[in-house]
Amino acid sequence: MAGTGPTLRVEGLRTHFFTNDGIVKAVDDVSFAVDRGQTLGLVGESGCGKTVTGFSVLGLVDPPGRVTDGRILFNGEDLLTAGEERLRSLRGNRIAMIFQDPMMTLNPVLRIETQMVETVLAHQDVDRDTARQMARDAMGKVGIPSPDERLHAYPHQFSGGMRQRVAIAIAFINKPDLIIADEPTTALDVTIQGQILFEAQKLCRETGTALIWITHDLAVVAGLANHICVMYAGRIVEEGRLDDVLDWPIHPYTRGLLNSVPSQKKSGERLEQIPGMTPSPLNLPPGCAFKTRCPRADHVCDAEPELREAVPGRRIRCFHPHTQGTP
Amino acid sequence: MTPMIETRGLSKRFVKRLDLAAKIAERLGADVREEVVSAVDRVDMTVAEGEAVGLVGESGCGKSTLGRMIAGILPPTEGRILFRGVDVATMDEREGKKAALQVQMIFQDPFASLNPRMRVEDIIGEAPVIHGIVAPRDKADYVEEVMRRVGLDPDYRRRYPHQFSGGQRQRIGIARALAVKPEFLVCDEAIAALDVSIQAQILNLFMDLKEALNLTYLFISHDLGVVKHISDRVVIMYLGRVVEVADTEKLFAAPNHPYTRALLNEVPRLDLRRRNYQPVVGEIPSPLDPPSGCHFHPRCPHATRRCREEAPVLKEIAPGRLSACHLNDGT
Ligand SMILES: Nc1ncnc2c1ncn2[C@@H]1O[C@H](COP(=O)(O)OP(=O)(O)OP(=O)(O)O)[C@@H](O)[C@H]1O
Ligand SMILES: Nc1ncnc2c1ncn2[C@@H]1O[C@H](COP(=O)(O)OP(=O)(O)O)[C@@H](O)[C@H]1O
Ligand code: SF4
Ligand code: SF4
Ligand SMILES: [Mg+2]
Ligand SMILES: [Mg+2]
C-alpha cells in the first residue's frame, strides 16, 4: 500500500487557536518526515506545540483551534483534504496515538477485551474469535502476565503502568503504519518507563511501524530515535540525525537545553542555564522567538530566521548558529 | 559529630478506614478488614550538618511520607526523630516551635502550596513577623532581601501567585521557606514540575543557597540525574524500607543492592543511543499487600528461598555504606 517516500510528511503546518485573548500560533510552519521503521523524536518544553502537532496529524484539533495552512501527507495522501470519514477509518487502524494519560484511549466502563476486540472488528474483516485471539496475543506482546484473566478486567483494576501498556497494545493491534506517542512515560516510574520503551521499540522493529515519540526528555529520545526535531514556541528550530544533533547541537536553544541537563556536568558544578522563561504564546517577541533568552542575539535577530540547511543533513532556524569550531 | 537529623525506627502506617458499603458487608458477616499501608517501615537514617542527602525510590515507596515526618508536619506512628541529638517528642513547647522553624519543606507543586489570595510580600513576610524574626516595620526590607536572594525582582512583591510562571512560583516557595531562617530544607520533588531549562535555574539556586547559608538538604526526587548532581549521599527506598545508603559517587560507580542496580540501569542517558532496553520485570507491588521477606524478591533476578521468607536487615557492607540484601552474607 505504501508507495515510495516517507510514511508521513508534514509540510508547512500551521495550527492556530483563535481565542478571546488573541491568536495562539501553537504550531507555526512545522515540517518533518518519518520513514517506515524509523523513530522521530519531537522534543521541546511544555507549551511549545508538540501535542498540537500530533493532534493536527490525526485531525483531532477542536475549535477554537484550526489548521490554517500546510500539508500532511500520509503514504502520499493529503489528510487535510481527506474528510472526517476517511480520517476516522485511518485512526486506530493505519494511524494510532498513545497519550500521556492512557484513559484518553481506554473506556472506563468497558472490559479490556471488549475494547480490543472492537478496535480490531472496526477495521479488519475477521471473526470475533480471531479478534479475541489477536487481543490475547497483543496483551502478551506488551508483557502483561496471564492475559486471559487480564482481558476480563476493567481499566481501573490496572496500575498506571499496566494501563499504558494496554493502551500501547491497542495502538499496535491493527499493525498501523504510524504511531504518535505523546509523552506516554512521563507520569511513570523509571523501571516501568524502561518496560514501555522496550515494548515500543520491539513492536516497531517487528512491524515496521513508523514512530513519532513526543517528549520533553532528551535522554529518552537518545535511547529511542534515529532523527530528532527540537521545537520552540511553535516552530522547529533544529532538525537532523539524532547523533549529529546531540553531539553537535548548532542552534543556541538546543545547545542550552543539552547543557542544562545535570548529567552533562560534574556533580555539584553549576549547570548552564537558559536565562528567563518561555515567552507567552500570545506575546511572542517579533523576529526570532528565542531572542530574549539567547546569548548570541543581536540586531539581526529582529528579523525572523527561516528554516535552512546550515550543514548537510541539518536544518535550523537561526542567524548565528554554532557551525564554526568544536562541537 | 551529632547529626542534624536522625531517625530511629521511624514508621508511619496509614489505615484505610472502611467505607459504608464495607461496614454493612462486615455486619452481614463478610470478611472485610481495615487495610493498613506501611508507608514508612522502621527507617533509620541520618543527615549531617551541611550535607545534601538524596532520597530516591519509585512512586508510593514512602519518600514524601518520610520527608513530611522529618519536617514535623506528619506525626509518626512509631519511632523517634532527633534534631541535633534531641528527641523532638520530648521537647517543651518553646523548643519544639524553634526546631519546627529550623526544618522547612518545599513542595513539588508550587501553586498548590501557595495561598492564591495572598500577595507575595505576605506569603514571604508573614511567618518571620509572627515568629519575631523581623520587626513589623522591617518587613518590607526583609521581604525585598529574601526575594533578591532567590532571584525574584522585588518590584513584583505586590503580585499574587497566579501572576507568576512555574519557575517563579517555585522561587516564591523557596523564599517563603528561607524567610524563617531554617537550617534544614526538605525538598520534595521540588523541580519535577518545571521545564528542563527552568530546572537548571532552580538547581543552581539550591546549590548557591547551600553555600551561602550553609543549608542542609534532604532532596527527594525520582530523577537520578538530579540526585546525582546535588547530593553528597543517597538513600534508596523500596516499599517503605531503606534498601541502600551510600556516598553518591560510590553508589553510581558500584551499586550494591539489586534494586539499585536495576534502577540505575533503567535511567535514560544522553550518551546511550538507540539502546536495547532490558527492563526489570514485574510491577511495583501494592503497598497494601507487600511481598513476604525481601519486598523486592518477585522482581529480583537473584531471589532465593531465603529471600521469600526472611526480610534482609540494613547493615554496613563497607565504611559508610549500608545495604539490605542477603547476597551480602554470601560465601
Ligand atoms: N494520607 C494517607 N492516607 C492513606 N495512605 C497514604 C496517605 N499518604 C500516603 N499514603 C500511602 O503511603 C504510601 C507512601 O506514600 P508517599 O506519598 O510517601 O510516596 P512517595 O514515595 O512520596 O511517592 P511519589 O513518588 O508518588 O510522590 C503510598 O502507598 C500511599 O498511597
Ligand atoms: N484548546 C486550546 N486553546 C487555546 N490554546 C491552546 C489550546 N491547546 C493548546 N493551546 C496552546 O498551544 C500551545 C502549544 O500547546 P501544546 O501543543 O499542548 O504544547 P506541548 O504539548 O508542547 O506542551 C500552547 O501555548 C497552548 O497553550
Ligand atoms: S536567530 Fe539570533 S536570537 Fe535566534 S537563536 Fe539565532 S542567534 Fe539566537
Ligand atoms: S535479599 Fe534476595 S530478593 Fe532481596 S534483593 Fe537481595 S537477592 Fe534480591
Ligand atoms: Mg503536550
Ligand atoms: Mg511523593
Ligand 1 close to Cβ of residue B67 (< 6 A): no
Provide the grid cell at B80.
523517634
Ligand 4 close to Cβ of residue B100 (< 6 A): no
Q: Which residues of B touch A243 (CB under 8 A)?
A: 273
| CA of A314 relative to ligand 2 center, distance in Å | 27
pLDDT value of position B32: 65
In a domain, B240, yes or no: yes
Yes or no: say if A19 and A64 are a contact pair by the CB < 8 Å rule.
yes
pLDDT value of position A196: 84
Q: Which residues of B touch A258 (CB under 8 A)?
A: 270
How far is it, in rounded angstroms, from Cα A217 to Cα A230? 11
The residue contributing the CA closest to ligand 4 atom 3 is B297
pLDDT digits (tens, 9 = 90+) for B110-158: 667 889 999 999 999 999 999 999 999 999 999 999 999 898 889 889 9
Question: Measured between CB atoms, which of A223, A271, A277 is closest to B204?
Answer: A271
Q: Which residues of A touch B267 (CB under 8 A)?
A: 190, 219
The residue contributing the CA closest to ligand 3 atom 1 is A318
Give the residue among B45, B61, B51 at the shortest CA–CA distance from B8: B45
Strand A308-311 and strand A314-316: the pairing is antiparallel
How far is it, in rounded angstroms, from Cα A47 to Cα A187? 17
Q: Measured from the CA of A289, which atom of ligand 3 is nearest?
A: 4
Intervals of chain A under pLDDT 50 = 1-2
Q: Specify the CATH number for the domain of residue B136.
A: 3.40.50.300
Mean pLDDT within B275-301:
85
In a domain, B55, yes or no: yes
pLDDT digits (tens, 9 = 90+) for A279-318: 888 888 899 999 999 999 999 999 999 999 999 999 999 9
Mean pLDDT within B43-60:
94
pTM, two decimal places: 0.87
Task: Tell me if B273 and A246 make a contact (CB, 8 A cut-off).
Answer: yes
How far is it, in rounded angstroms, from Cα B18 to Cα A74? 54
Measure in Å the smallest separation between the Cα of B176 and chain A Cα atoms: 21
- The residue among A204, A213, A263, A280 with the most chain B CBs within 10 A of its CB, best to mutate, is A263
In a domain, B83, yes or no: yes
Nearest CA in chain A to B270: A219
Task: Tell me if A190 and B263 make a contact (CB, 8 A cut-off).
Answer: yes
Q: Is the peptide bond before A312 cis (omega within 30 degrees of 0)?
A: no
Structural domain boundaries enclosing B86: 5-283
In a domain, B13, yes or no: yes
pLDDT value of position B223: 86
Task: Tell me if B268 and A271 make a contact (CB, 8 A cut-off).
Answer: no
In a domain, B308, yes or no: no
Provide the grid cell at A137.
496475543
Q: Cα dihedral sign for A232, B208, B68, A267?
A: positive
The backbone region for A208, taken as left when phi is positive above 0, alpha when psi lies in -120 to 50, beta otherwise, is left
Give the residue among A198, A258, A187 at the shortest CA–CA distance from A228: A258
In a domain, B324, yes or no: no
Average pLDDT of every residue of chain A: 91
In a domain, B207, yes or no: yes
Enumerate residues 6+ apart whose C-beta is below 8 A from B240: B38, B39, B40, B41, B43, B61, B62, B287, B290, B295
Quickly list H helices, chain A.
50-58, 84-90, 112-123, 128-141, 147-151, 160-172, 190-207, 218-224, 242-247, 252-259
Overall domain count for chain B: 1
| Domains of chain A: residue spans and CATH | 1-94+176-319 (3.40.50.300), 104-174 (no CATH)
Measure in Å the smallest separation between the Cα of A190 and chain B Cα atoms: 6
Query: SS3 breakdown of chain A: % helix, strand, coil, rounded to 5?
Result: 35, 25, 40
| Ligand 5 (single-atom ion) residues, CB below 5 Å | A 51
The residue to which cell 527561516 is assigned: A306
